[in-house]
Structures are given as C-alpha cells and as structure tokens.
Amino acid sequence: MWRGIKWLAAILLLSIAAFAFRKPAEEYFDIAKSLDIFATLFKEVNAYYVDEVEPQKLIRHGIEGMLESLDPYTDYIPEDELESFQITTTGQYGGIGALIGVVNKKIVVTHPYQNFPAFKSGIRVGDEIIAIDGKNVQGKTPVEISTLLKGLPRTTLELKVKRSGKSETVTHKLTREKINITNLSYYDIIEPEMGYIRLDDFTPGAAREVSQAVLDLKKRGARKLILDLRNNPGGLLHEAVNIVSLFIDKGLEVVSTKGKVEEWNKRYKTLNQAIDKEIDIVVLVGEGSASASEIVAGALQDYDRAVLVGQRTFGKGLVQTTRPLAYNAQLKVTTAKYYIPSGRCIQAMDYTHRKNDGTVERYADSVKVEFKTKGGRKVYDGGGLDPDIKVEEEYVGSITSALINAGLIFEFASKYCGEHPVKPDLKSFQISERDFENFVSYVKSQKFSYSGPLEDDVDKLVEAAKKDRYYEQIGNELEGLRTRLKTGESAEVKTYKAEIIEILSEQIGFHYDLYKGQAEIFLKNDNAIIEARKVLSDSLTYNKLLSVN
C-alpha cells in the first residue's frame, strides 16, 4: 500500500527537484501540504471504505486524473507498459514481424512486415492464427497473443495458421528476430520525372530513409517530389530537423523550443549539406499530420521550399521529454512549446484555459498572429498549418464505415485473394461488377446489421413519442419507417457502390502486396495526390504559390 503512496510522491517530488531554484517558499509548503493530505486521505480510504480497494489501481487512477488535467501528451508509463512505449518510440522489438488483430471474432494477421520471419515463411494478410507452440489461442486477446509472439531474438516458435478458402491448417516454424520497422511505407516514380514518398513515422532512421529514397528517385529520373505526411502523428524531433536539412542550406534554423526550464530551451539548425535545394516539392498534409510532421511541413513552408496541399494539420506544438521515476517507471511530460522558422507556434488547443466542465477549446481566430515566410507570404499561428492548396477531406459514408468496422471489407478481401491466388496488375486493378455483387451477397450472408444516422433519429423520435404519449397515435408510422430503413441496407450498400469498390480494391491490393499494392491503386484515385500532380506539372502555378501575391 505505502509503496503506491511513495510512487505518487516520487512523481510530485520530481517536479520540486527540477524547479526548486525557481519556486518561492510558499509553493514548497503547498506541495508538502498536498502530499500530506493525499497520504492521509489514501490511508483513511484504504482502512474504512466499505469494500476492499486495490492500492496500486487506486493510485494509478489518481495519477491519471492528475495528468489528464494538464494535456493529453503528459503521460505516466509504468514498468509493465515500458516495452510497448519503447516499441512506439524506437520502432524496434523482438518477434516475428507481424501485426495482429480481431476480425469477426478471429485473430488474424493484419500486416506481416516484408523481409521479416512471418512474411518470409509465407504468412500473409488475413491468415487466421489457430495455435502458437501447439497451444490453441482462440478466445485470447490480441495483447495476450502478441506477448506470446514476442521474445528474444534467435528463439523459436511454431505458428499454426489457416488461410481463407483453405480447409487445412499450415504450421510455420519461425525464428524471432530483432524487428526494426521502417518509417517509409512506400516510395516510387508515379509518373515521368515525379517521385512519391509516404512517410509514416519519425522513429530512428527516418531521415536516412528519406534521404536514400530521394537519391534513388533522382537516379531514376525524378525532378519533382510528393512527400506524403498525412496521418503521420510525429515522433523524434531531431529526425524532423534532419529531414528538413535534406532540402535547405546548412546552418538554417528549423525549430526552437521554449519552456519553463531555460537551460532546456534550444535552437535546432540544419547540420548537414542539402542533397537537393532545387527539386520542386509538394507536401501532403491533413488533420492527422502532427508534431514532427508539422515541423517538417511548417519549416519547408516558412522557407518557401514546398507547397502544402491537403487539409489543416492537427496543431500539436508541444514537446515531450521522458523522465525516469522510481521502480523503473517513466513520466512523459510536456516541457516546452516549439516554434518554426517564421516564429509561429502552431499549437491549436489551449490547455491552459479549460472551461468549467474540463473541456478545451481551440485558439480563437481573433487571437491568431500573422507571421511571414522567408519570401514574405502571410502565415498564421495557433491552429495548425494551413495548406497552400486546400483539398476537402474525402469522408466515407456511414454504411461504408460500418462495413469496415465490422471487418467485412477485410474478410471479403481475404476471401477474394484466397480464390484468386495469382496477383493481378494492381496499377489497373478494380473489382468487377460481378465481384461487387458477390460482396453484396457476402454481406447478406454474414447477417450484417447496420444502424445509420436516420435509424438513430427514428429511435429518438420513438423514444420522444413514448415520453410525450404520442406513440399510440403515430407509432405505426414510426415503426413502418424503421422497418423500411432496416430492409434498405442492401440498397444503401449499392448507393455507395463506387466508394465501396474503391476501398475494397485498395484492401485487396494490400492483401496482395502490402502498402505497395495498396498504393498502386489509391495513387490514381486520391484527390490530394491528383492535385499535387497537377501543381507539380505546372511550374508557373508552382512558383506563383511560393511567391508574394
């Protein structure tokens, strides 16, 4: 019990030690008083609460509640979660190199990484995991199975899997390796003189991978470049700095950080010579582009080095530092805000001024400040990065989302690939009319149940009618409407036919050839990529976008 109290005390006392030289004496008293109150309160709850309490669980809730009042990025990492945290930040672990998930109550492989044990042994997307080392794993959670799959490099295991469309199971003997997940999911020449790079993470080696990709694309004739940072949540700051340094002069500032501890404030400048200062660049951004992604996109925008295409970015202008705690735990704490070369901080959410209900609002447009790029273009702080060319986000219909969430898109792709083992030419691939009708029949066979926005509205009307005693008068009409909506599911699937065909085709492409297969399909349909190609194909438009109007 008291180990838990010391645990929380260690976290709070860490703050005292870090900032002691700056805090007035009365704050020492406030902290000591608060710790004393917490310790005595916990003792009383533990002794007298009507039911038994779990001390560590109670302390954990206290820690999480305290940190939640700050911002979403300040987080407590206990010892038993440290491995997962390190995998996230380093992209390295010991295992077979495969992601797993639950699809229709089955544990399946959702992504076997190329050139690692699972993929090399023949395991593919959609394979169902039946047993590990002879032990049936049905009913186990993905976390439990992931734990069984991970281990020290050079240790062995047996994995029994079943492929869609096949009756027999196959046992693979695998040797675990140190898995180092790449940051680039795909790059290639997508049309004459135009290269495309998709960067998914900023773990160690990201800048080196981008550099190698750029040099390879240039060797293959690329004179223009699309750098896709959409849905990239960020990562290591120095990798962002090194990526920017690939395209601008040595010695230029990329980002600076400012926080409470002045000694930690830093200015990060490019340290290396650029590999190309002339290549035309479009950076694709969206609502999922955050942190290090925004540093790269923002710095290239501030130096008028790239055109940004897409949607406004997430707006995370906060820097986290990991601090050690007692018992091998860690504290990931926000220590500073970062500022890109124009001087703007793109932080969008104002965590210092919460509303009475605890919610947080974005910085209002009225308080945003104007800044200038190197060439004099107007840019603004306080709300993420605004693209130079806005492309509306492509939102999928509610029934399409329901089909994805139910796992039916994934399952049908597994079924399709099982029935068509020979990979087609994915650059021209799209499922046929017959394939789509087969999908509709498959959805019916799975007894797919869908509650869309209209059905939800009818449910609310029924509830309101019963409450206000109108149900006897209009109940038959409401129930009839509900029935018609329910029986219209197949028709709604067909209403969103084009969208479903596109998403289903991309998933089949992923099943066949992972990100490469998926990219070969979506590159010809993606609106932001189509716009980027258009801009890069017109040098007058490109240069005009980077000049002061």
Do both 319 and 368 map to the same domain? Answer: yes
Please check whether residue 76 lies inside any domain of the structure: no
Do both 198 and 175 map to the same domain? Answer: no
- Enter the pTM of the model: 0.85
Do both 438 and 376 map to the same domain? Answer: no
Do both 176 and 204 map to the same domain? Answer: no
**pLDDT mean over 476-504:** 74
Active site residue 316: yes
Please check whether residue 81 lies inside any domain of the structure: no
pLDDT bin (cut points 50, 70, 90) of residue 23 is low
Q: How many domains does the chain have?
A: 4
Do both 201 and 322 map to the same domain? Answer: yes
Residue 284 belongs to domain spanning = 184-393
**Angle CA(86)–CA(92)–CA(94) in degrees, nearest 5?**
105
Do both 368 and 405 map to the same domain? Answer: no
Active site residue 494: no
Final residue of a structural domain among 368, 393, 418: 393
Task: Write down the H helix ranges in 73-186.
Answer: 82-90, 117-120, 142-149
What's the pLDDT at 282? Answer: 98
pLDDT bin (cut points 50, 70, 90) of residue 188 is very high
Catalytic site residue from 164, 245, 289, 291: 291
pLDDT at 63 over 50: yes
In degrees to the nearest 10, what's the CA dihedral of 177, 180, 185, 187?
A: -100
The string of pLDDT tens digits covering residues 210-220 is 999 999 999 99
Catalytic site residue from 256, 316, 381, 414: 316
What's the pLDDT at 483? Answer: 66
Q: Which of 267-281, 325-339, 390-404, 444-458 has the highest mean pLDDT?
A: 267-281
Active site residue 291: yes
Do both 326 and 434 map to the same domain? Answer: no
Q: Assign residue 117 the CATH number of its domain.
A: 2.30.42.10
Do both 406 and 494 map to the same domain? Answer: yes
Do both 378 and 404 map to the same domain? Answer: no
Final residue of a structural domain among 155, 180, 205: 180
Please check whether residue 82 lies inside any domain of the structure: no
pLDDT bin (cut points 50, 70, 90) of residue 398 is confident
Whether the CA torsion 487, 491, 495, 500 is positive or negative: it is positive
Catalytic site residue from 200, 302, 381, 526: 302
Do both 505 and 358 map to the same domain? Answer: no
User: Cβ contacts of residue 415 below 8 Å, gap of 6+?
Assistant: 164, 165, 442
